[in-house]
A and B are shown apart, each in its own frame.
Chain A
């Protein structure tokens, strides 16, 4: 393959015509890197802004042992799809996986290591709620093999936390971070801004508090009203577009000053501390998703498949009896692949090297050439030798940039 071919960006595309004909199915030279995602579908209480697959346990009891058994059976029955492939990262997400007992997590991780060849340097992240109960388990989580902790702080301001329906307070959050840092080198804090009635100063105060702990990774999310959530039904009074944009700019500026690289739309890291598991999503790598409602994307010589496990925990556990885990499985059509790749890769500030497109989608680069030219003409992407990345404008207006790649 002629990798150094220069894109003829000066040539105007034929009006309204999408990039050239696509092959019938993707032709992947080799499978992309593989990650494992494990979903834990329970929370003590569901937050009003959250649209993830999480449930408050019925009667307060979480069937932990049965669920871990089911997860291991799930993984076992999925093995033929990933035979012989090494796993580079594991992510326990939810829900609130830190509700799991340390022994439970230890049994789960041991099971996973037995079934799958895990890279010795693999990143193993656990999402944790910064509550007192969970913090007490951090040390044992570390001992079980978790090497990166992601804390859902959201804010340090008690009033905002109450408004968000969070069950922890600011002080609890601070103590949880201290405990986390005592046991983990790699800690991420999730923060949210543009919270109900939040001011710019308050948003920055939250950020300063977070920075003072010396963590190496921060995710700063603009609070979004997702459909089918209590917040969407009864929207709280949110800062307007201009104020939210001011907050974002101020946050980005302060983080840059503190030595963080803004490597993805909402993710900031000290050099080398990027989340490898998430990077795998954004570079269109493969991932096996196990657990209730978990999503997976797997490539083979036959094509690229997306699948989802049974969503409701009860339904998932019940299906486990018969080793039936998958609720949905579908092949991603070649027409959708360019958009799906871009939707991930263009979130990265650094974009992607052009060879990556063919490597991960199995399609010729020509499949996105026309759209890239249009995007460049509108100042939304930059092409720098072999690197294709969103421009400053393209990052701000990523949705407009991405819709260029949507086929009718």
Chain B
């Protein structure tokens, strides 16, 4: 056990985490040159394209250190995005150490700080690494200073490396051996293994990634899942290098996988403790806190006939993404679809993209919304995650919205615009600190303002330099109203949003204007209205089209004109009919993109 080192890498997106991981794997011979593909740990196409890690992955490496001993290094990759921070804490719970990778040319970012604090809270040894020192803009001294100022970790011994060129990789590995403590645990005690992650594999069923805390597990042992008491015969144990390699046993201190012929992912809950049926542990390990979706949106198939296909696709996605929630929903405008719950906007984006890419779905997604607490006059409290489900306001005593505490990091020259943005979004400043050239702003913000377009706005006002982390703080009463959009006199339920009364007028006008520009002119004038209850607060008119006719239809050859009309018809099919009006898909997303900066 003295030769085991379990560690993960904490880094902001783009600071080179995956590249560094690949380098370490390559150095230790985990993969041959031929197998070495860029960023092997990010195995989903989407992860590789976006350069983000969505789910934890691991690699067991053999490293012969300068002291002549061979060490088993278990690298557990962590996601770098705020939506997946719970995954980070899971990964860290399997580690004794974490490499804090900071881009030497950019310094510390908010995400890094948050994950670093998680690591410190979990008693994980934080080892600073300065990456990208080959860049001309690299400023290691400044980056060291920032690490000490912002995170409060001693960075004087920070390792310098360049994952891109391979410079300093051996130093990184040596530091892991030296600074990361070996795991503690008792191989002779009853088995206790924490499920860090689990996913569904089409060939072997559920695969559980575990950290063995005490005891030993071998194939043919009968395992017991402590949360539900279910028993399974263990088929196989092993490690990822990152390819899966079977082992004869997994012992205390090790990280590896268990395959036990489990068919439903729900049975192998992340955070549960695996023990032996023959000699069970007395108590399970402390698990993880349940994660709840924070952002909801309606997903509808463009072709209503693809509803069943959408349900199947969502079910398949959920096999590997227990945080995805969905339930059937009916919209007058969009037909049958699903109300889906996500961890955050990125998560929503990823699910949407996977549905489109891997399952070939054509989707309409409604504006994302948060969960409101609505206090009825009767005193009853209900949760509303769909604006069109908001009860009649005469029966409502109070609407409460979720407030988040946001930590934003940015170079000081962008402080002004970021503060302006936060204020515009009804934010309340909690704290502001200078760390060298970086500024840390802490704001309480209504979450619904954040899910609308805050990320995009923040990126644009800071030219991409600001980083954001947030956590839920509380529900707070606010003067909120439901803003309905009407097209041709018909309410379009899918376009309803809950907004603060103060911004309703502005938003109504903007959405109406946007719809006017997106809905093609029809055969008749179409009124686009925004309303709060029965009170119309904005109106636009889409002037009737004057004509839609082919000037020349050369009698002889009708084939091309026929194709043209077939195309027109095809285009109409992709629109949704509300009353007499055909509304294109983009219109449904327009509500999202109302620009408040202008």
Minimum distance in angstroms from B573 CB to a CB of chain A:
9
User: In the complex where A278-B555, A282-B555, A344-B555 touch, is A265 in contact with B561 (Cβ < 8 A)?
Assistant: no
**Which residues of the partner chain A approach B556 to less than 8 Å between Cβ atoms?**
37, 93, 281, 287, 289, 294-296
How many residue pairs link A and B with beta carbons under 8 A? The number is: 81
- Whether A242 lies near B558 (C-beta < 8 A) is no
* Cβ-based interface call for A19 (8 A): no
**Which residues of the partner chain A approach B561 to less than 8 Å between Cβ atoms?**
343
- Whether A287 lies near B555 (C-beta < 8 A) is yes
* Cβ-based interface call for B282 (8 A): no
CA distance A398 to B565 in the complex (A): 10
CA distance A398 to B572 in the complex (A): 15
Minimum distance in angstroms from B304 CB to a CB of chain A:
11
- Whether B565 lies near A399 (C-beta < 8 A) is yes
Q: How large is the interface on B (under 10, 10 to 19, 20 to 34, 35 or more residues)?
A: 20 to 34
- Whether A343 lies near B558 (C-beta < 8 A) is yes
Please report the total number of A residues contacting B with Cβ < 8 Å: 41
* Cβ-based interface call for A241 (8 A): yes
Which of chain A's residues has its CB closest to B561's CB?
Answer: A343
- Whether A347 lies near B553 (C-beta < 8 A) is yes
- Whether B558 lies near A265 (C-beta < 8 A) is no
- Whether A395 lies near B545 (C-beta < 8 A) is no
- Whether B557 lies near A295 (C-beta < 8 A) is yes
* Cβ-based interface call for B547 (8 A): yes
- Whether B558 lies near A340 (C-beta < 8 A) is yes
Interface on chain B toward A: helix, strand, loop, or mixed SS?
loop
- B545, B546, B549, B568, most chain A CB atoms within 10 A: B549
Residues of chain B in range 555-571 having any CB-CB distance to chain A below 8 Å? 555-562, 565-566, 568-569
User: In the complex where A241-B546, A397-B548, A403-B572 touch, is A52 in contact with B562 (Cβ < 8 A)?
Assistant: no
- Whether A393 lies near B551 (C-beta < 8 A) is no
* Cβ-based interface call for B478 (8 A): no
**Which residues of the partner chain A approach B545 to less than 8 Å between Cβ atoms?**
241, 397
**Which residues of the partner chain B approach A402 to less than 8 Å between Cβ atoms?**
565
* Cβ-based interface call for A221 (8 A): yes
**Which residues of the partner chain B approach A266 to less than 8 Å between Cβ atoms?**
551-552
Q: Which of A93, A241, A278, A396 contacts B549 (CB 8 A)?
A: A396
- Whether A400 lies near B523 (C-beta < 8 A) is yes
- Whether A406 lies near B551 (C-beta < 8 A) is no
**Which residues of the partner chain A approach B572 to less than 8 Å between Cβ atoms?**
403
* Cβ-based interface call for A222 (8 A): yes
Residues of chain A in range 341-372 having any CB-CB distance to chain B below 8 Å? 343-344, 347
CA distance A325 to B367 in the complex (A): 59
CA distance A222 to B546 in the complex (A): 13
- Whether B548 lies near A396 (C-beta < 8 A) is yes
CA distance A375 to B497 in the complex (A): 36
**A 304-335 binary contact with B (CB < 8 Å = 1; else 0):** 00101000000000000000000000000000
**B 115-142 binary contact with A (CB < 8 Å = 1; else 0):** 0000000000000000000000000000
- B546, B550, B556, most chain A CB atoms within 10 A: B556
* Cβ-based interface call for A263 (8 A): no
- Whether B546 lies near A265 (C-beta < 8 A) is no
- Whether B555 lies near A224 (C-beta < 8 A) is no
Residues of chain A in range 141-159 having any CB-CB distance to chain B below 8 Å? none
Residues of chain B in range 519-560 having any CB-CB distance to chain A below 8 Å? 521, 523, 545-560
CA distance A281 to B552 in the complex (A): 13
CA distance A406 to B565 in the complex (A): 8
Q: Which of A37, A221, A296, A340 contacts B552 (CB 8 A)?
A: A221
* Cβ-based interface call for A248 (8 A): yes
**Which residues of the partner chain B approach A280 to less than 8 Å between Cβ atoms?**
555
* Cβ-based interface call for A231 (8 A): no
CA distance A399 to B561 in the complex (A): 10
Which of chain A's residues has its CB closest to B562's CB?
Answer: A343
Which of chain B's residues has its CB closest to A249's CB?
Answer: B546
* Cβ-based interface call for A184 (8 A): no
- Whether B549 lies near A403 (C-beta < 8 A) is no
User: In the complex where A340-B558, A340-B562, A343-B561 touch, is A400 in contact with B548 (Cβ < 8 A)?
Assistant: yes
- Whether B550 lies near A398 (C-beta < 8 A) is yes
- Whether A396 lies near B546 (C-beta < 8 A) is yes
- Whether B558 lies near A399 (C-beta < 8 A) is no
Minimum distance in angstroms from A94 CB to a CB of chain B:
12
Which of chain A's residues has its CB closest to B552's CB?
Answer: A221
Minimum distance in angstroms from B370 CB to a CB of chain A:
38
- Whether A245 lies near B547 (C-beta < 8 A) is yes
CA distance A313 to B252 in the complex (A): 83
Q: Which of B547, B558, B560 contacts A397 (CB 8 A)?
A: B547
**Which residues of the partner chain A approach B565 to less than 8 Å between Cβ atoms?**
343, 399, 402-403, 406
CA distance A248 to B548 in the complex (A): 12
CA distance A224 to B568 in the complex (A): 16
- Whether A224 lies near B551 (C-beta < 8 A) is yes
User: In the complex where A343-B561, A343-B565 touch, is A221 in contact with B551 (Cβ < 8 A)?
Assistant: yes
**Which residues of the partner chain B approach A340 to less than 8 Å between Cβ atoms?**
558, 562
**Which residues of the partner chain A approach B552 to less than 8 Å between Cβ atoms?**
221, 224, 266
**Which residues of the partner chain B approach A344 to less than 8 Å between Cβ atoms?**
553, 555, 558
Which of chain B's residues has its CB closest to A222's CB?
Answer: B551
Q: Which of A93, A245, A289 contacts B546 (CB 8 A)?
A: A245
User: In the complex where A393-B523, A400-B523 touch, is A343 in contact with B553 (Cβ < 8 A)?
Assistant: yes
- Whether B555 lies near A52 (C-beta < 8 A) is no
**Which residues of the partner chain B approach A242 to less than 8 Å between Cβ atoms?**
546
User: In the complex where A281-B555, A294-B556, A343-B562 touch, is A397 in contact with B569 (Cβ < 8 A)?
Assistant: no
Which of chain B's residues has its CB closest to A246's CB?
Answer: B546
CA distance A398 to B564 in the complex (A): 13
**Which residues of the partner chain A approach B521 to less than 8 Å between Cβ atoms?**
241
**Which residues of the partner chain B approach A406 to less than 8 Å between Cβ atoms?**
565-566, 569
CA distance A51 to B558 in the complex (A): 13
Which of chain B's residues has its CB closest to A243's CB?
Answer: B546
Which of chain A's residues has its CB closest to B523's CB?
Answer: A397
Minimum distance in angstroms from B406 CB to a CB of chain A:
46
CA distance A402 to B555 in the complex (A): 16
User: In the complex where A248-B547, A393-B523 touch, is A265 in contact with B553 (Cβ < 8 A)?
Assistant: yes
**Which residues of the partner chain B approach A245 to less than 8 Å between Cβ atoms?**
546-547
- Whether B548 lies near A398 (C-beta < 8 A) is yes
- Whether B562 lies near A339 (C-beta < 8 A) is yes
**Which residues of the partner chain A approach B550 to less than 8 Å between Cβ atoms?**
224, 265, 398-399
**Which residues of the partner chain B approach A347 to less than 8 Å between Cβ atoms?**
553
**Which residues of the partner chain B approach A278 to less than 8 Å between Cβ atoms?**
555
- Whether B547 lies near A403 (C-beta < 8 A) is no
Query: Which A residues form the contact surface with B (CB < 8 A)?
Result: 37, 51-52, 93, 221-224, 241-242, 244-245, 248, 265-266, 278, 280-282, 287, 289, 294-296, 306, 308, 339-340, 343-344, 347, 393, 395-400, 402-403, 406
- Given contacts A265-B551, A265-B553, A295-B558, 15 further A-B pairs with CB under 8 A are A221-B552, A224-B552, A245-B546, A278-B555, A287-B555, A295-B557, A343-B558, A343-B561, A347-B553, A397-B523, A398-B550, A399-B565, A399-B568, A402-B565, A403-B572
**26 A-B pairs in the complex with CB atoms less than 8 angstroms apart:** A37-B556, A93-B556, A221-B552, A224-B550, A224-B551, A224-B552, A241-B545, A245-B547, A248-B547, A265-B549, A278-B555, A287-B556, A289-B556, A295-B557, A295-B558, A339-B562, A340-B558, A340-B562, A396-B549, A398-B549, A399-B549, A399-B568, A400-B548, A403-B572, A406-B565, A406-B569
A-B pairs, 10 with minimum CB distance:
A281-B555, A245-B546, A295-B556, A222-B551, A398-B549, A403-B569, A396-B547, A295-B557, A399-B548, A221-B551
Query: Which B residues form the contact surface with A (CB < 8 A)?
Result: 521, 523, 545-562, 565-566, 568-569, 572
